[in-house]
Structure 1
Amino acid sequence: MTSPHPLTPHLPSPLHEIRDDRFGRRGLRLVLKRDDLIHPELIGNKWRKLVPNIAAAHGRALVTFGGAYSNHLRATAAAGRLLGLSTTGVVRGQELADRPLNPSLARCAADGMRLHFVDRSTYRRKTEPETLAAILRAAGAEGAYVVPEGGSNAEAVRGCRDLGAELRGHAEVVAVACGTGGTLAGLAAGLAAGQRALGIPVLRGGFLEDGIRDLQERAFGARSGTWSLDDRFHCGGYARTTPALEAFAQDFEQRHGLPVERLYVAKLLYGLVALAEEGAFARGTTIAAVVTGRPFPEPQAAASEPGQSPP
């Protein structure tokens, strides 16, 4: 009997209804789209974004980018191990090279990823052709297939369109936490007429709208679907949490028996509860929240920069 491919997913990911009086008393229905159950190591939207890029690489080594606690770096490293591909992770923060690896980067290294640390100024210019070429030379990754930070490019956006298609007919509003915006860009394009996508950015800066529009134009030729952003729930920036967010996440876990990933999923759910309390959704609305990750040891208070991209 032939062994299954190591990246074989469990699709479509299931929908789980959540009985929560903060929604119920306002005539709202909340369902969770459990993308965290797609694959045991490429969690949630990471599978949807990475697999199309791996196909486009045609067996070449992979190089990608992220911060010290990057979910994307971990997923890329895991994919490399599972497929026998060489991977290089370019990590934001030259100062990290002289410190012991945190649990997230240690996982990447254990999966065989070579880590190359660059200073933050260089990292911000990584998409400039000359800077990118210099980074690849220094990292020994010339000729590798470049996956952008967060995995968000036209291939990834087209891969995330299936997420929207899986949710057709199941909710009027589909909400997802946003880092680089690739998941929202694809999700919105896959939804049916009459459905709308809502993005909850997990970092501050207010620059995502242009980025999402650009991703859709590169993937589909034009803006696609109905979508909007509410950037009030980032809790100070990427990898930042607050006591209120932590208390909310713990309470949600106790209410529903579901571990809540703090940097993306907690902010999404926190935002949806706040919006429900504000009366942002009409009675009778079904809201689908996309669970894009599961808990991993995270930083207690990592620094974030205004306008920085997430890992």
Structure 2
Amino acid sequence: MHQSFKINENNHIQQIDTTFLKKRNIYLGVKRDDLLHPLISGNKWRKLKYNLAHMQKINKTELLTFGGAFSNHIHACAAAGKEFSIKTHAIIRGPELDNNNPTIQFAKQCGMHLHVVNRIEYRKRHDIDYLNALQERFPNAYIIPEGGTNEHALLGCKELVQSLPEHNYLVCPTGSGGTLAGLIEGSASTTQVIGVAVLKQANYLNEEIKKLSAKANNQNNWQLLTEFHGGGYGKFSPELWQFCQDMSRTHNLPLEPIYSGKMMYALWQLIEQDYFPSGSKIIAVHTGGLQGLNGLKYRGLI
């Protein structure tokens, strides 16, 4: 039985209205992909959409993926499993499972089957022999990589661009490079596409992005900014967290300090440094992931 995997993707752009931008004659719109769905949010839906269609095409009935215990991708896959009645499995980086962790609790509530492995086994998640062995163990499962980035994920991110109003700059947070690659694929060569790396020493992602996107190889209208990681993946400064809270209070724009918060904070600093010429129209993609705030609270980090 073929079912259609759809959610409402109506475009919502929130304009940030402040004298800080007005005096520089800059338009800043935030593409609120965090509002796509109450549970399958942002770029995680964009990445899953065509993966689910492909899963169906090759007659697989289950989904298997990988993630850390606080992963937005795990959260989204679990939610999609519940929403579309698909059996889901996750290989979780251990060493053990903390059943009080809010992401893990949510995944279990959605009926996701969690398989905890030690860090040594988890490192094999890209290894072809390991993946073949997993496929044998779960013959009905369609395997999606950690973070959800692959060729099918790009199609959903590319589609995002086609729904946007006119702009010169398109900005997104970058973890695995999939969203950025998809935005490059979908953008006109006259648009500057900027990724803000959320992890340390992220220069290697430039090569990953070129592997994913043919356009990224032939066009120089994109760049990855690697200086705004705030200490590394999952790390953030008190200033960044303060900024997130201020944006939420002042502009009713909820942010978390791991992905979209880092991007907005970077953008704010760039605007302050007059990086963008007067008259620029910037669209920043809010990639969701607000569920991560529960995990940060749980760990006492905010």
TM-score above 0.5: yes
- Give 1:301 deviation, angstroms: 9.9
Where structure 1 has 5 or more consecutive residues not aligned to the other structure, the ranges are 303-311
Is 1:254 matched up with 2:253? no
Q: Distance in 1 between matches of 2:244 and 2:228?
A: 13
Is 1:164 matched up with 2:161? yes
Matches within 5 A, 1:63-82: 63-82=64-83
Is 1:95 matched up with 2:95? yes
User: What secondary structure, in the 3-state scheme, does the structure 2 residue paired with 1:126 have?
Assistant: helix
- Equivalent AA in structure 1 for residue 193 of structure 2: A
Matches within 5 A, 1:31-50: 31-50=29-48
For residues 230-251 of structure 1, the C-alpha deviation after alignment (integer angstroms, 9 at most, x for no partner) is 1111112222222111111111
Decide whether the 8 Å contact of 2:180 with 2:209 is kept in 1.
Answer: yes
Decide whether the 8 Å contact of 1:32 with 1:288 is kept in 2.
Answer: yes
User: What secondary structure, in the 3-state scheme, does the structure 1 residue paired with 2:263 have?
Assistant: helix
Decide whether the 8 Å contact of 2:210 with 2:216 is kept in 1.
Answer: no
Identity of aligned residues (%): 36
Question: Quick one: structure 1 residues 134 and 205, their matched pair in 2 at CA, closer, same or farther if it must change by over 3 Å?
Answer: farther
- Equivalent AA in structure 2 for residue 177 of structure 1: P
- Give 1:120 deviation, angstroms: 2.1
Q: Distance in 2 between matches of 1:267 and 1:149?
A: 21
Partner residue of 1:299 out of 293, 296, 301: 296
- Equivalent AA in structure 1 for residue 224 of structure 2: L
Tell me what 1:184 maps to: 180
- Equivalent AA in structure 2 for residue 246 of structure 1: W
For residues 8-59 of structure 1, the C-alpha deviation after alignment (integer angstroms, 9 at most, x for no partner) is 3223421111112332222211111111122222111111110100111114
Tell me what 1:309 maps to: none
- Give 1:142 deviation, angstroms: 3.7
Decide whether the 8 Å contact of 1:188 with 1:225 is kept in 2.
Answer: no
- Equivalent AA in structure 2 for residue 163 of structure 1: L
Q: Distance in 2 between matches of 1:68 and 1:177?
A: 21
- Give 1:298 deviation, angstroms: 2.5
Tell me what 1:19 maps to: 17
Decide whether the 8 Å contact of 2:185 with 2:216 is kept in 1.
Answer: no
- Equivalent AA in structure 1 for residue 281 of structure 2: T
Q: Distance in 1 between matches of 2:110 and 2:224?
A: 35
TM-score of the superposed pair, with normalisation by structure 1: 0.87
Q: Distance in 1 between matches of 2:37 and 2:222?
A: 27
Tell me what 1:264 maps to: 259
Tell me what 1:127 maps to: 126
Q: Distance in 1 between matches of 2:55 and 2:209?
A: 23
- Give 1:271 deviation, angstroms: 0.4
Deviates more, 1:238-247 or 1:140-149: 140-149
Question: Quick one: structure 1 residues 117 and 272, their matched pair in 2 at CA, closer, same or farther if it must change by over 3 Å?
Answer: same
Q: Distance in 2 between matches of 1:298 and 1:198?
A: 28
Q: Distance in 2 between matches of 1:237 and 1:68?
A: 18
Question: Quick one: structure 1 residues 188 and 301, their matched pair in 2 at CA, closer, same or farther if it must change by over 3 Å?
Answer: farther
User: What secondary structure, in the 3-state scheme, does the structure 1 residue paired with 2:282 have?
Assistant: strand
TM-score of the superposed pair, with normalisation by structure 2: 0.89
Where structure 2 has 5 or more consecutive residues not aligned to the other structure, the ranges are none
- Equivalent AA in structure 1 for residue 244 of structure 2: A
Decide whether the 8 Å contact of 1:241 with 1:301 is kept in 2.
Answer: no
